[in-house]
Amino acid sequence: MGLRIRHWQYGLLLGTAFIGGAVIGPNLGLLTRALAQGASHGDMYEMLKIFGDVMERVRAEYVDPVDDKELIENAINGVLTGLDPHSSYMNAKAFKDMQIQTKGEFGGLGIEVSEDKGMIKVVSPIDDTPAARAGIKPGDYITALNGKTVIGLSLNDAVDRMRGPPNSKIVLTIKRQNVDKPIEVPLIRETIRIQVVKSRPEPHDIGYVRLSQFTEQADSGIRQAIKKLRDQNGGKLKGLVLDLRNNPGGLLDQAVAVSSDFISQGEIVSTRARHPEDSQRWDAKGDDILHGAPLVVLINGGSASASEIVSGALQDHRRAVLLGTRSFGKGSVQTVIPLPGNSAMRLTTARYYTPSGRSIQALGITPDVRVQESREAPQSFGGEHEADYNRVLSNEGGTGAQALPPRTDLPAIAKQIPDKPPENFPKLDLAKPDQTDFQLQQALAVVDAMVAQQSASAN
């Protein structure tokens, strides 16, 4: 049975805080000969021989004794992390942590991180967690944990150190764009139970729903939130703002299901793999739970993977107006392949494409109405998108932005929306979103105009 047949496509994982006695001898020789026989390059045998020599020399002469299992795991992880930012090896603990994460409950700080140029970068804090309440921001770099540098730590090691028993303390040292001095952030660990969906009614029979992650509860949470909003509005729901900002992704089946909540038929997303027989397509399989009511989707640089699949599908089908800033650009598929000893490898196996054929990879989704969160220039320290990473997978095979003709269905107010807040606009306070969240204010203005436009067309 070939390796490709044994693939377990676990879903869209950003490769972040989900994670987080072999002895070199005769077996390596067998592996060397097997790979060398099938290699297309004549130096394969020689390189594997060098690998074996290096491992033996480390075991025999390194200044301190080394654990054989750890040595092999590091070697395996090096093979995978050298490919792209999202391929990696997960030992038994990391694999279990990933499975717990996708169920929506795990221990720690509630922070999504990735490795970037040897540093630990914050992708986004998770709502209502110690990290979010302490003001950790997307784009921050974690430079030290409890005063000890993270230089030299793998992503898995850094995540392990950030996790710990509830009520235990940890101090993160942060490097932030436009801040000269390091920022020390004391945190108290908690058991993180993610409430992935939050909702509230807005004026004029409009609803607001925020989806913070695509866990197993995403689709059911969206449906419950829509029902609750209708009940709160006396059975009416004339329009909706769906907030996917700083949503780092999650499970593919949930991205398809959430898209199907608003698209009744047609393609949601497709994948193209190295082997054509492994390419796939997912279509809508539901009814529009809004019954055609106007929909505005909020996205930003922290919206990644599953968030981009949903926003890309809604945009291509002209089912929603996207407002905010360009998304992260994580358009690659990671297949989780279980390995002996309850470990697993996460391997990039395909690219994602929107219904119109656009590749999300390294480009992201461009909003229909561009609106910044603040007047400050977007963060640029180390970059904030997939394209800024080292060893990033290229964007190939897509139709490009030209696949979508210019929109002619936007309400007139869309042209009047400013791309940044006015002078002296209050700083974002999540406790007062309707007064301080400029992007949300503009989204509500657009959906109000869309409701009025739809009503006028019906008369």
Catalogue the active-site residues: 305, 316, 330
Q: What is the spatial distance between Cα 270 and Cα 259, in angstroms, rounded to a whole number? A: 13
Structural element, H or E, at residue 145: strand 141-145
C-alpha dihedral sign at 128, 132, 138, 144: negative
| Tokens at 322, concatenated | 């996207």
Secondary structure tally for the chain: helices H, strands E: 11, 20
| Tokens at 332, concatenated | 């690659």
Q: Which residues contact 351 (CB under 8 A, 6 or more apart)?
A: 271, 272, 331, 332, 333, 359, 360, 361, 393, 395, 396, 397, 398
C-alpha dihedral sign at 345, 346, 351, 353: positive
Q: What is the spatial distance between Cα 30 and Cα 71, in angstroms, rounded to a whole number? A: 19
115: β partners: 120
Q: What is the spatial distance between Cα 456 and Cα 166, in angstroms, rounded to a whole number? A: 55
Q: How far is CA 348 from CA 96, 130, 205, 276, 391, in A?
A: 20, 31, 43, 15, 12
Q: Are 101 and 18 in contact (CB under 8 A)?
A: yes
Residue 215 Cα to chain centre, angstroms: 12
Pairing label, strands 267-273, 343-353: antiparallel
